[in-house]
Amino acid sequence: MRSVSKGYLVCIGCLGLAVLLWSGWSVFVHQSPHWDRDTLQAVLLLLFLSWICCCLPLYIRDDCTVDLSFISILASTLLLGPETAVLISAVSFPFVVVANPSGKGCQHIFNTSPLKTFFNIGDHALSYWVGGVFYHLAGGVPGDISLPGVLLPALLFILTAMFTNSVVMLLFYMLEYRTPFYPTIFQMFLGLLPSIACASPIGYFLSMLMTMKAGIWLAMLFMLPLLLARYSFKLYLSFQRQQHSMVEALTAALEAKDTYTKGHSGRVSAYACRIAQEMELPAKRIERLRTGALFHDLGKIGIPDSILQKPGPLTQEECTVIQTHPLLGVGILENMDAYKDILAFVRSHHERYDGGGYPDGTAGDALPLEVYILGAADAYDAITSARPYCKARTPRDAGRILRAEAGKQFHPQVAIVTAELAESGVLARCIQALTETGGGPC
């Protein structure tokens, strides 16, 4: 990790510590609460729910998790105030134990970097504190959850806490991986919206139940169906991950049998994502393109080694055989629901803008823009990679070829953007960053 990134983590941790001290003073000194038995039970229940939800995240990817802890944080804010919510989040975090996505071992405070733990606690404390400021500015009163008065304070708390968290995380990625601020900030913010939008009403209902007679027991019963739903969704994600692992194994087998293909898919994926970012495609489309690029050459697993590893130019018959690999790739992926939305990328990445490509000869705007981005990224890697019968050329050479083929092999706009990124060295630095970070953002 770069020294400037470490410094940033320390700064966020210190800001979070200051927020925690202020929240503690506000709750225990300034407000001087006289908690009765019901209030104390409510605090303990919300603390337990925050802890258990953090311990049971759902792994969307190995580097991306979603948990339900925001439910208890929102309920804490509505019932007891954002300052108490900050404290509940901070107290529960050090005791979190999370099973690794591989199923081997667990992550906990004793095997996690103290700096990372310090930063994460600070990040959450700072985010919820900023949300709390806007909650109070909007007239939010802890304990008053009557509708519609609670809607605006709650909405501002949710949005500002989400936005603050996105900014804090993005600034780290900017320092460590040189990730562009725009449009990444909107991509990160929008990426949080679905889970928060689903969790927020549940948080409100939880707080409402806890104000009723025997509310503690009602709240515990209320959470049981949520845990069942979480388990069902976990099974679904596990199935999706198994499918992904199987396709990755096939890709690894392909790279093992073809020395040129080794690393090719990962590089093309990085190039394609960077081009798509430059063209300001939405985050969802970029993520779909990333997956499509990783598996675009999967069909080559069915091409004979005598053709795939031939050290010289291919004959016409051999070209005809290798041109079947897009359809072979589609045949492998088409029965997997998780990859229905990338079939067009796998099938059409060798199509040309002028209609002279294969396997269908489709031209112009009949294909999605992502297909042409993938084709340009694939061509750039081919031009700048060494082959037995062709030396690697420079990024500037690649830029000249892309410009010359704009409107012919390549989509005009995609060709110009890719050429500019190639000639400026952005694509080369993208791969350098990918290598240095072991797969971090470009």
pLDDT of residue 58: 66
Tokens of 28: 């225990």
Tokens of 431: 């791969």
Residues of the chain with pLDDT under 70: 32-34, 58-66, 101-103, 181-192, 194-195, 233, 236-237, 239-241, 243-244, 256-262, 388-389, 431-442
pLDDT of residue 437: 47
Distance CA 115, CA 10 (A): 7
Which CATH number fits the domain 3-233, given the four candidates 3.40.640.10, 3.40.50.720, 1.10.1760.20, 2.40.70.10? 1.10.1760.20
Distance CA 97, CA 47 (A): 15
pLDDT of residue 400: 94
Given a contact cutoff of 8 angstroms between Cβ atoms, the answer to whether 94 and 109 are in contact is yes
Distance CA 264, CA 294 (A): 9
pLDDT of residue 133: 95
Given a contact cutoff of 8 angstroms between Cβ atoms, the answer to whether 251 and 295 are in contact is yes
Given a contact cutoff of 8 angstroms between Cβ atoms, the answer to whether 317 and 308 are in contact is no
pLDDT of residue 83: 94
pLDDT of residue 64: 56
Residue ranges per structural domain of the chain: 3-233, 258-437
What residues pair up with 61 in beta bridges, in sequence order?
64
DSSP string, 58-127: EEEETTEEE-SHHHHHHHHHHHH-HHHHHHHHHHHGGG--EE-TTSSSEE-TTSS-HHHHHHHHHHHHHH
**CATH class of the structural domain 258-437:** mainly alpha
Please enumerate in sequence order all residues whose Cβ is within 8 A of that of 134, keeping only pairs 6 or more positions apart, or say none.
Answer: 153, 156, 157, 160
